[in-house]
């Protein structure tokens, strides 16, 4: 990793720069180059590139031009056109190699359930990044695969737990996207096998070529199977998908479910959370098994990300927050997640050290906890 100390001013700069991060929720880097409209759609959560202007006119676009350009041998703040031209000239393999290695991420916990063909596998990603990678399995993807094969709803209910066990044999965690398929304001209870079988049966009869699992009963069943599996269970929460009704992905709506799950001690990992990151921190204080991150939001907020970092350091214990980029595709996202987190932490926590609120030793310990130790402990890495 090239340590760019200029990026991390203040008393914690060196510590911040050398942290071997665990990116506990991330996807693979792009397998092959894409055209510019596709690239622009990948640096937004909107469904497509804007009809007017360019997606580079955003915080994330400015951050790419500021921080990624020098790694592609351009000046900081190179124009979007120059950046794009240079990126194409280097090719995806070289761009990935440069940006992923500059990220300084030691371990990627890669969720493989979203458009997996377009991105590198965990093993490929690890090699390009010169890092470790472990897998996180999306509950819905396993279920959609099984639905392609079973003959009846009842068979689905019977088979899903063992199929999930098999699919997660070497995984370190599972993930649910119930937030954007149904919302968190669902019945928190475990559905009956009969209800699940009936819902699966309905879905099987209506199947076209593509399966989209969005029945709340089925989604709740998967969630509880995830709890039974016992691995840390990641939940998409808040910002991050055009499908969702954002206010129904407010993690507070999970409280009735969290009260039922707490006794299992299965770690519940609330992902992203923006703009509900304060709410996520509150849940992390209230529930012994709840953890959270502010990934994704940091990338999109760019130069404004330090405030989000500050807001994530309010009421949650420091043992309950993790680092994540939630990058998918362009390796700019993997790199910026790391850079902006390091830069924001060095600014915010460095200010507290300078003002005498925190000791330097405490600050460095918190950087290690959030940067990698909490993830290592919870995921048993």
CA distance 252 to 19: 32
Closest to a copy of itself by CB, 165 or 315: 315
For a copy of itself, what does the binding mask look like between residues 186 and 215, x meaning CB under 8 A?
------------------------------
Residues 25-44 that bind a copy of itself (CB under 8 A): 44
Distance of CA 47 to the CA centre of its chain: 18
Q: In which residue are the tokens 């003959």 written?
A: 151
162 binds a copy of itself (CB under 8 A): no
What is the spatial order of strands in the sheet that 233-237 belongs to? Answer: 21-26, 105-111, 132-138, 173-176, 233-237, 268-272, 290-292
Binding residue count for a copy of itself, defined by CB under 8 A: 69
Nearest 5°: the CA angle 302, 233, 169 is 115
For a copy of itself, what does the binding mask look like between residues 78 and 107, x meaning CB under 8 A?
------------------------------
> Residues near 25 by Cβ (< 8 Å), separated by ≥ 6?
109, 111, 136, 175, 234, 269, 271, 293, 295, 322, 324, 325, 326
Question: Which range binds a copy of itself by CB under 8 A, 22-30, 86-94, 286-294, 323-331?
Answer: 286-294
Sheet strands (E) in 55-179: 105-111, 132-138, 173-176
Q: In which residue are the tokens 């992390």 written?
A: 284
Q: In which residue are the tokens 């940006």 written?
A: 99
118 binds a copy of itself (CB under 8 A): no
Q: In which residue are the tokens 């280097």 written?
A: 90
234, 289 in Cβ contact below 8 A?
no
260 binds a copy of itself (CB under 8 A): no
Interface with a copy of itself (CB under 8 A), residue from 32, 51, 169, 210: 51
Closest approach, Cβ 247 to a copy of itself, in A, equals 4
231 binds a copy of itself (CB under 8 A): no
Interface with a copy of itself (CB under 8 A), residue from 57, 159, 193, 194: 57
Q: In which residue are the tokens 């993790």 written?
A: 322
Closest approach, Cβ 237 to a copy of itself, in A, equals 13
CA distance 106 to 328: 17
Interface with a copy of itself (CB under 8 A), residue from 1, 34, 198, 313: 313
8-state DSSP, 371? I
For a copy of itself, what does the binding mask look like between residues 291 and 310, x meaning CB under 8 A?
------x--xxxxx--xx-x
Give the count of beta carbons closer than 10 Å to the beta carbon of residue 1: 15
| Interacting residue ranges for a copy of itself, rule: CB under 8 A | 6, 44-48, 50-53, 55, 57-59, 62-63, 65-66, 76-77, 239, 242, 245-247, 250, 252-253, 255-256, 265, 274-275, 278-279, 282, 285-288, 297, 300-304, 307-308, 310-311, 313-319, 352, 355-359, 361-362, 365-366, 369, 377
């Amino acid at each position: 990793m090239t340590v760019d100390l200029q990026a991390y001013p203040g008393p914690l700069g060196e510590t911040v720069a050398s942290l071997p991060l665990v990116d506990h929720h991330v996807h693979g880097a792009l397998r092959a180059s894409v055209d510019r409209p596709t690239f622009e759609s990948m640096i937004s959560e909107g469904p497509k590139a804007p009809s007017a202007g360019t997606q580079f006119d955003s915080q994330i676009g400015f951050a790419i031009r500021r921080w990624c350009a020098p790694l592609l041998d351009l000046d900081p703040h190179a124009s979007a056109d120059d950046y794009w031209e240079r990126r194409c000239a280097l090719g995806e393999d070289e761009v990935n190699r440069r940006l992923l290695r500059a990220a300084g991420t030691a371990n990627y916990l890669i969720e493989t359930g979203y458009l997996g063909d377009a991105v590198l596998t965990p093993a490929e990603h690890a090699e390009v990044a010169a890092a470790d990678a472990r897998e996180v399995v999306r509950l819905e993807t396993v279920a959609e695969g099984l639905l392609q094969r079973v003959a009846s709803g009842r068979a689905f209910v019977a088979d899903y737990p063992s199929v999930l066990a098999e699919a997660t044999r070497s995984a370190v965690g599972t993930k649910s996207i119930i937030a954007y398929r149904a919302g968190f304001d669902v019945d928190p209870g475990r559905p009956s096998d009969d209800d699940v079988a009936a819902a699966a049966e309905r879905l099987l009869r209506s199947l076209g070529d593509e399966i989209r699992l969005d029945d709340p009963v089925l989604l709740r069943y998967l969630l509880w199977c995830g709890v039974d599996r016992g691995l840390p269970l990641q939940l998409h929460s808040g910002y991050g998908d055009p499908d969702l009704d954002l206010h129904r992905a407010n993690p507070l709506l999970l409280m009735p479910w969290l009260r039922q799950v707490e006794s299992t001690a299965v770690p519940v990992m609330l992902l992203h959370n923006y703009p509900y990151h304060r709410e996520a921190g509150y849940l992390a204080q209230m529930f012994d098994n709840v953890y959270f991150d502010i990934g994704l939001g940091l990338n999109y907020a760019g130069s404004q990300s330090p405030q989000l970092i500050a807001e994530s350091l309010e009421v949650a214990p420091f043992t309950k927050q993790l680092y994540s980029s939630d990058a998918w595709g362009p390796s700019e996202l993997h790199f910026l997640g790391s850079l902006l987190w390091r830069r924001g932490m060095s600014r915010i926590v460095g200010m507290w050290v300078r003002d005498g609120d925190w000791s330097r030793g405490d600050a460095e310990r918190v950087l290690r906890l959030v940067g990698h130790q909490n993830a290592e402990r919870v995921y048993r890495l």
